[in-house]
Amino acid sequence: MNPKPDSFKGKSFHVLVISQNQTGIHFQDENLAFISFDEKGLSKSRNRALENGTGELGLIADDDVDFCENFDAKIKKAFHDFPDADIITFKILTPTGENYKNYPKSSFKHTRKSIYTVSSVEIVFKLESLKKAGIKFDERFGLGASYPSGEETIFLNDAMNKGLNIYFVPEYIVMHPLESSGKILDASYYKTKGALIKRLYGYSFNLVLGIAFLMKQYLKPQRSISLFSSFKESLIGFNSINKG
């Protein structure tokens, strides 16, 4: 993350920037709060944002996304249309005008299965709802942590466990380039997925959802290790972590 606040100034909406660096720079004006922390980890950064956020609604943004035109009006309308919503997920548009992924055409209330497909930059939340429920990101997951993915799914699953209402609304709010489909699924990938399933469900009945999810991962053509090794690494990951 850029350790200086200059590039974030002049926005027409309030921005909270969490910068992980050793400069100790803190800056604040009417629409910008820039706070530095000498630590690493994506989930840690997002938790600092939740701790220091002050607005009614929060949107998780990375430094490689742009906001779509009228994104703020779309968000406000969605929360007006779903007044019981605590969290709403939206859509990502690519610079070429395509869907970033396959999205449903209609709004719906998320299930434990549907949250697997959500990306962080699609998430908008009522900050007060998260604070009251004690929801934050598990800092063992996400880039820079022991398990480099899965933090969004855990975040949303924890919110469901606390009774929060999560909806999807088919409106574009951010723009992001389409990523390459050439991702290699190696031992680390399957170990992380095993740990994710343990963190989500433990040994509860919902573990069947996790097993179904893992089966799909085993069948992906990008798998770079044998089916047996994939299963073995998933089991190692599952046994390497406590649920809480």
- Can you give the pLDDT at residue 237? 97
- pLDDT beneath 70, residues of the chain: 1-13, 15, 17-33, 36-38, 180-182, 244
- Can you give the pLDDT at residue 130? 97
Each domain of the chain, given as residue ranges in start order, spans 1-38, 54-175, 187-239
Mean residue pLDDT across the chain = 89
What is the residue type of 232? Answer: K
- Can you give the pLDDT at residue 132? 97
- Determine contact, residues 56/129, Cβ cutoff 8 Å: no
Percent over 90 (pLDDT), the chain: 69
3-class state of residue 131 by DSSP: helix
Q: What is the pLDDT of residues 187-196, one digit of tens each?
A: 999 999 999 9
Residue at token pair 């850029």? 2
3.40.50.720, 3.40.50.10800, 2.60.120.10, 3.90.550.10: which CATH number matches 54-175?
3.90.550.10
- The DSSP 8-state label assigned to residue 121 in this structure reads G
- Can you give the pLDDT at residue 136? 96
Q: Which two tokens stand for residue 30?
A: 């009417």
Q: What is the pLDDT of residues 105-138, one digit of tens each?
A: 999 999 999 999 999 999 999 999 999 999 999 9
Among candidate residues 58, 71, 69, 68, the one with its CA nearest the CA of residue 17: 58
- Can you give the pLDDT at residue 181? 55
Listing DSSP states for 48-109 in one string gives HHHHH--SSEEE---TT-EEPTTHHHHHHHHHHHSTT-SEEEEEEE-TTS-BSS---SS-EE
